[in-house]
Structures are given as C-alpha cells and as structure tokens.
Amino acid sequence: MTKSRSCIALVAHDNKKAELVEWVEQHHDILSDFELCATGTTGALVETELGLPVRKFESGPLGGDQQIGARIAEGEIDFLVFFWDPLAPHPHDPDVKALLRIAVVWNIPFACNRASADFMIASTLMSNTYQRKLPDLDSYRQRLKT
C-alpha cells in the first residue's frame, strides 16, 4: 500500500480531551497536511470544533484503542498522540497499555503529553519523508513456529 500522506492518530482520555483539542488547534496548519484518525469521541471533537477531517474509530473503551493498535501493526498509522490521564482510573487500562506497547513494537513515535507532542510536531522530521526503521521480527516469528 502506498500512502500519499502520513497518518497521525489522536487519542485522549476524558480529562485530557480539551487539552488535545487545544493542541490540535495550536498546530492546525501543520496537522492539516496529515491524514488524521482518532478514537470516536476525540475525533468527533476535533472535527466539530476545528473542522479538520478525521477518520473515527470506536470510543477507546469500546475497542477504539485496539483498532488504532491494529492499524499501527498494519503500517497505516505513522505517529500517535495520546494525551492520557495517569491520575484517573480507566476500565480499559489493558487496552491502553496494549496500544502503547504496539507503538513501541512497531517503532512508531508517540507523544503522551503536550510537552512531548510539542517537541515532536516541531521536529524537522515532521516536514520530511521519514523512513522509520521497522523491527526485524523474523527471529521472534521463528520462535513461535517451534
């Protein structure tokens, strides 16, 4: 599959949604050059409040985190911005951990708060075609066969 634009996934816990929308608004010009996708409620907020087109998945607790994780594994998502709330309990915490784990496995840059998102969006790598190094998983796959 050849993509014309890189895809950025946007995710935010309830207490962080307003902050993420504000961050997207601050970086509207840059983000409008990317394909955006998001979990359901977050995507709807970005679309409604900022007018940016967003491919929406399910809400996080209904499987949206896992849908985004699957797209990362399939090579469809290049960058994850996930403003998560470490001070609130989340019934779908295993899904959140799985999403962050899959981002690391597939060497996807991810920002987990506004500071890291600001640093990443300001990187010169955002305006160039970045060839991320894919992990060599052949040895892992071979172990599964034995």
Under DSSP, the state recorded for 121 is H
Separation of alpha carbons 87 and 69, rounded Å: 23
For the CA atoms of 55, 60, 65, 68, what is the dihedral angle to 10 degrees?
A: 0
Contacts for 50 with CB less than 8 Å, ≥ 6 apart: 21, 24, 25, 28
Closest by Cα among 72, 83, 7 to 45: 83
Helix (H) or strand (E) holding 94: helix 93-105
Is 95 an annotated catalytic residue?
A: no
CA angle 40, 104, 94 (to 5 degrees): 55
Selecting among 29, 33, 65, 78, the annotated active-site residue is 65
Residue positions annotated with a catalytic role: 65
